[in-house]
Amino acid sequence: MSECSIILTTYPDKASARKIAKLLVEKRLAACVQLFPIESVYSWKNEICEEKETMLFIKSRTELFGEISAAIKENHYHKVPEIVRVPIADGLPDYLKWIGECVES
């Protein structure tokens, strides 16, 4: 069974988030992408910024992180997008197997 991860990123709205989610699943880079409406407060260039965004939880194999990051950067509105990989330390074996089967080898 391949090592799996969840990759996190944000987009400014649901439409653009759904577009990258579909792209990742269609290209078999992700088994599943979940979209969540969130509010972010962050520092950028010495200013406090607040905005509504859509957060994506991208489930994939760890080895595909580079390709997923490249796809996000090519289709993102921020100069420095949030792209964070969180390893899945444990999970239902059948679910982790399903992730591995859904994405390319």
Using N-to-C axis directions, what is the helix angle for 65-74 and 14-26, rounded to 10°? 140
User: Which pLDDT belongs to residue 54?
Assistant: 97
Q: What is the mean pLDDT of residues 14-35?
A: 97
Q: In terms of pTM, does the model score above 0.85? A: yes
User: Is 4 strand, coil or helix?
Assistant: strand
Mean pLDDT of the chain: 94
In this prediction, residue 99 has a pLDDT band, given cuts at 50, 70 and 90, of very high
- 1 pLDDT higher than 60: no
pLDDT tens for each residue of 27-45: 999 999 999 999 999 998 9
Q: Which domains does the chain have, with CATH numbers?
A: 4-102 (3.30.70.120)
Decide the pairing of beta strands 4-11 and 84-87. Answer: antiparallel
